[in-house]
Amino acid sequence: MSSTKSKSPAKKPASAVRSAKAAIDAAAKARKAAASEIQARIARLDAEITGTETDGPDAATPATPATAAEAAKDANGANVPAKGGKRAKTPTTAKPPKPAKEPKAAKVKAPKPPKAKRVSCLDAAAMVIAESKVPMRATEMIAAMQAKHLWSSPEGKTPEATLYAAIIREIAAKGNAARFKKHDRGVFVAGKGA
Protein backbone atom coordinates (compact mmCIF):
# COMPACT_ATOMS: atom_id res chain seq x y z
CA MET A 1 0.00 0.00 0.00
CA SER A 2 1.17 3.38 -0.85
CA SER A 3 0.79 6.07 1.67
CA THR A 4 -0.45 9.43 0.53
CA LYS A 5 1.22 12.45 1.92
CA SER A 6 -0.91 15.47 2.42
CA LYS A 7 0.64 18.63 1.20
CA SER A 8 0.04 21.61 3.37
CA PRO A 9 -0.21 24.97 1.73
CA ALA A 10 3.01 26.89 1.73
CA LYS A 11 3.01 29.89 3.98
CA LYS A 12 3.68 33.17 2.28
CA PRO A 13 6.35 35.32 3.74
CA ALA A 14 5.13 38.40 5.62
CA SER A 15 6.97 40.74 3.30
CA ALA A 16 4.97 39.46 0.30
CA VAL A 17 1.69 40.07 2.12
CA ARG A 18 2.76 43.58 3.05
CA SER A 19 3.75 44.40 -0.52
CA ALA A 20 0.41 43.08 -1.86
CA LYS A 21 -1.49 45.23 0.64
CA ALA A 22 0.59 48.24 -0.38
CA ALA A 23 -0.20 47.58 -4.06
CA ILE A 24 -3.93 47.35 -3.28
CA ASP A 25 -3.81 50.59 -1.29
CA ALA A 26 -1.95 52.33 -4.13
CA ALA A 27 -4.55 51.12 -6.65
CA ALA A 28 -7.37 52.37 -4.41
CA LYS A 29 -5.71 55.81 -4.15
CA ALA A 30 -5.30 55.90 -7.93
CA ARG A 31 -8.98 55.03 -8.37
CA LYS A 32 -10.02 57.81 -5.97
CA ALA A 33 -7.82 60.29 -7.81
CA ALA A 34 -9.27 59.23 -11.15
CA ALA A 35 -12.81 59.51 -9.78
CA SER A 36 -12.17 63.03 -8.49
CA GLU A 37 -10.66 63.97 -11.87
CA ILE A 38 -13.77 62.63 -13.62
CA GLN A 39 -16.03 64.60 -11.28
CA ALA A 40 -14.01 67.75 -12.01
CA ARG A 41 -14.31 67.19 -15.77
CA ILE A 42 -18.05 66.62 -15.47
CA ALA A 43 -18.39 69.82 -13.46
CA ARG A 44 -16.44 71.75 -16.10
CA LEU A 45 -18.60 70.32 -18.91
CA ASP A 46 -21.79 71.13 -17.01
CA ALA A 47 -20.52 74.64 -16.48
CA GLU A 48 -19.77 75.00 -20.20
CA ILE A 49 -23.24 73.77 -21.09
CA THR A 50 -25.06 76.03 -18.64
CA GLY A 51 -22.80 78.99 -19.39
CA THR A 52 -21.31 79.47 -15.92
CA GLU A 53 -17.54 79.64 -15.53
CA THR A 54 -15.44 77.79 -12.98
CA ASP A 55 -12.06 78.85 -11.60
CA GLY A 56 -10.79 75.39 -10.88
CA PRO A 57 -11.74 71.82 -10.20
CA ASP A 58 -13.14 72.67 -6.76
CA ALA A 59 -15.06 75.81 -7.82
CA ALA A 60 -18.21 73.99 -8.82
CA THR A 61 -19.88 71.26 -6.84
CA PRO A 62 -19.10 67.98 -8.58
CA ALA A 63 -22.21 66.65 -10.21
CA THR A 64 -23.12 63.02 -9.97
CA PRO A 65 -22.93 61.16 -13.27
CA ALA A 66 -26.31 61.05 -14.99
CA THR A 67 -25.78 57.69 -16.63
CA ALA A 68 -23.70 54.60 -16.09
CA ALA A 69 -21.93 55.36 -19.36
CA GLU A 70 -20.60 58.66 -17.99
CA ALA A 71 -19.46 57.00 -14.76
CA ALA A 72 -17.64 54.24 -16.65
CA LYS A 73 -14.88 56.48 -18.04
CA ASP A 74 -11.33 56.37 -16.75
CA ALA A 75 -9.08 59.36 -16.09
CA ASN A 76 -8.22 59.75 -19.80
CA GLY A 77 -11.90 59.83 -20.85
CA ALA A 78 -11.79 56.42 -22.50
CA ASN A 79 -14.57 53.92 -21.96
CA VAL A 80 -13.96 51.23 -19.37
CA PRO A 81 -15.80 47.93 -19.42
CA ALA A 82 -18.99 48.06 -17.37
CA LYS A 83 -20.30 45.15 -15.36
CA GLY A 84 -20.54 41.97 -17.37
CA GLY A 85 -17.47 42.79 -19.47
CA LYS A 86 -19.36 44.91 -22.02
CA ARG A 87 -18.10 48.31 -22.95
CA ALA A 88 -20.28 51.24 -21.99
CA LYS A 89 -21.82 53.18 -24.83
CA THR A 90 -20.63 56.69 -25.36
CA PRO A 91 -23.38 59.23 -25.05
CA THR A 92 -24.29 60.75 -28.39
CA THR A 93 -24.60 64.46 -28.86
CA ALA A 94 -28.04 65.77 -29.63
CA LYS A 95 -28.60 66.81 -33.22
CA PRO A 96 -29.80 70.36 -33.75
CA PRO A 97 -33.48 70.54 -34.65
CA LYS A 98 -34.35 70.92 -38.30
CA PRO A 99 -35.72 74.30 -39.31
CA ALA A 100 -39.47 74.41 -39.57
CA LYS A 101 -40.84 74.21 -43.08
CA GLU A 102 -42.79 77.15 -44.35
CA PRO A 103 -46.48 76.38 -44.85
CA LYS A 104 -47.53 76.09 -48.45
CA ALA A 105 -49.67 78.84 -49.80
CA ALA A 106 -53.26 77.79 -50.30
CA LYS A 107 -54.21 77.46 -53.91
CA VAL A 108 -57.02 79.78 -54.82
CA LYS A 109 -59.11 78.65 -57.69
CA ALA A 110 -61.18 81.15 -59.59
CA PRO A 111 -64.86 80.32 -59.32
CA LYS A 112 -66.20 78.78 -62.47
CA PRO A 113 -69.11 80.51 -64.11
CA PRO A 114 -72.29 78.50 -63.66
CA LYS A 115 -73.08 76.35 -66.64
CA ALA A 116 -76.34 76.82 -68.41
CA LYS A 117 -78.60 74.04 -67.27
CA ARG A 118 -79.35 71.62 -70.04
CA VAL A 119 -82.97 71.14 -70.81
CA SER A 120 -84.11 67.54 -70.60
CA CYS A 121 -85.90 65.83 -73.44
CA LEU A 122 -89.20 65.76 -71.53
CA ASP A 123 -88.98 69.46 -70.57
CA ALA A 124 -88.17 70.46 -74.16
CA ALA A 125 -91.12 68.37 -75.42
CA ALA A 126 -93.41 70.13 -72.91
CA MET A 127 -92.25 73.52 -74.26
CA VAL A 128 -92.82 72.44 -77.87
CA ILE A 129 -96.28 70.95 -77.21
CA ALA A 130 -97.37 74.05 -75.23
CA GLU A 131 -96.55 76.30 -78.22
CA SER A 132 -98.22 73.97 -80.71
CA LYS A 133 -101.92 74.36 -81.62
CA VAL A 134 -102.18 70.88 -83.14
CA PRO A 135 -101.66 67.43 -81.54
CA MET A 136 -98.16 65.96 -82.10
CA ARG A 137 -96.51 62.56 -82.17
CA ALA A 138 -93.22 61.86 -80.39
CA THR A 139 -91.25 61.91 -83.67
CA GLU A 140 -92.71 65.32 -84.57
CA MET A 141 -91.80 66.66 -81.10
CA ILE A 142 -88.19 65.43 -81.50
CA ALA A 143 -87.90 67.16 -84.90
CA ALA A 144 -89.35 70.43 -83.51
CA MET A 145 -86.99 70.37 -80.48
CA GLN A 146 -83.96 69.93 -82.72
CA ALA A 147 -85.17 72.66 -85.11
CA LYS A 148 -85.55 75.16 -82.23
CA HIS A 149 -82.20 74.03 -80.69
CA LEU A 150 -83.88 73.14 -77.40
CA TRP A 151 -82.59 69.57 -77.26
CA SER A 152 -80.71 67.20 -79.52
CA SER A 153 -80.31 63.46 -79.19
CA PRO A 154 -76.97 62.43 -77.65
CA GLU A 155 -76.32 59.78 -80.31
CA GLY A 156 -79.43 57.81 -79.29
CA LYS A 157 -80.89 55.39 -81.84
CA THR A 158 -84.56 55.81 -80.90
CA PRO A 159 -85.08 59.09 -79.01
CA GLU A 160 -88.77 59.14 -79.99
CA ALA A 161 -89.37 55.83 -78.19
CA THR A 162 -87.66 57.19 -75.08
CA LEU A 163 -89.73 60.39 -75.23
CA TYR A 164 -92.97 58.44 -75.76
CA ALA A 165 -92.25 56.27 -72.70
CA ALA A 166 -91.40 59.33 -70.56
CA ILE A 167 -94.65 61.08 -71.57
CA ILE A 168 -96.72 57.98 -70.69
CA ARG A 169 -94.97 57.71 -67.28
CA GLU A 170 -95.67 61.37 -66.49
CA ILE A 171 -99.35 61.03 -67.41
CA ALA A 172 -99.64 57.91 -65.24
CA ALA A 173 -97.84 59.52 -62.27
CA LYS A 174 -99.40 63.01 -62.27
CA GLY A 175 -102.77 62.33 -63.81
CA ASN A 176 -104.64 65.58 -64.62
CA ALA A 177 -101.66 67.69 -63.41
CA ALA A 178 -99.40 66.28 -66.17
CA ARG A 179 -97.97 68.57 -68.84
CA PHE A 180 -99.20 66.18 -71.56
CA LYS A 181 -102.60 64.78 -72.36
CA LYS A 182 -103.28 61.80 -74.60
CA HIS A 183 -105.32 62.95 -77.61
CA ASP A 184 -105.33 59.73 -79.60
CA ARG A 185 -103.15 56.63 -79.82
CA GLY A 186 -99.52 57.90 -79.99
CA VAL A 187 -100.70 61.55 -80.30
CA PHE A 188 -100.41 64.10 -77.49
CA VAL A 189 -101.59 67.63 -76.72
CA ALA A 190 -100.69 70.07 -73.97
CA GLY A 191 -102.15 69.11 -70.58
CA LYS A 192 -103.26 71.24 -67.62
CA GLY A 193 -99.80 71.14 -66.07
CA ALA A 194 -98.15 72.76 -69.10
What residue type is assigned to position 19 of the chain? S
Q: What is the pLDDT of residues 138-170, one digit of tens each?
A: 999 999 999 999 999 888 899 999 999 999 999
Task: Please tell me the distance from the alpha carbon of residue 33 to that of residue 75, in angstroms, as a whole number.
Answer: 8
- The answer to whether residue 182 sits within a structural domain is yes
Q: Show the beta-strand stretches assigned E in the chain.
A: 180-184, 187-190
26's torsion region: left (phi>0), alpha (psi -120 to 50) or beta? alpha
Q: Which residue has the higher pLDDT, 171 or 56?
A: 171
Task: Please tell me the distance from the alpha carbon of residue 114 to that of residue 112, in angstroms, as a whole number.
Answer: 6
What residue type is assigned to position 1 of the chain? M
pLDDT of 77: 55
- The answer to whether residue 90 sits within a structural domain is no
Task: Please tell me the distance from the alpha carbon of residue 40 to that of residue 154, in angstroms, as a whole number.
Answer: 91
User: Given 85, 100, 130, which residue is the final one in a domain?
Assistant: 85
Question: How many domains does the chain divide into?
Answer: 2
Q: What is the pLDDT of residues 103-116, one digit of tens each?
A: 887 788 888 888 87
80 shares a domain with 125: no
Q: What is the pLDDT of residues 33-87, one digit of tens each?
A: 999 999 999 988 888 888 765 555 444 454 454 454 455 555 445 555 555 555 5
- The answer to whether residue 131 sits within a structural domain is yes
pLDDT of 104: 80
pLDDT band, very low/low/confident/very high, at 99 (cuts 50, 70, 90): confident
Q: Which residue has the higher pLDDT, 10 or 113?
A: 113
140 shares a domain with 78: no
- The answer to whether residue 94 sits within a structural domain is no
- The answer to whether residue 95 sits within a structural domain is no
Q: Which residue has the higher pLDDT, 14 or 155?
A: 155
- The answer to whether residue 61 sits within a structural domain is yes
- The answer to whether residue 5 sits within a structural domain is no
- DSSP annotation of 132 reads -
pLDDT of 81: 53
**Residues of the domain holding 174:** 121-190
Report which of 106, 73, 109 is spatially closest to residue 88, judged by C-alpha positions: 73
Task: Please tell me the distance from the alpha carbon of residue 102 to that of residue 89, in angstroms, as a whole number.
Answer: 37
pLDDT band, very low/low/confident/very high, at 20 (cuts 50, 70, 90): confident
Cβ burial of 163 (10 Å; 0-12, 13-18, 19+) is buried
- The answer to whether residue 75 sits within a structural domain is yes
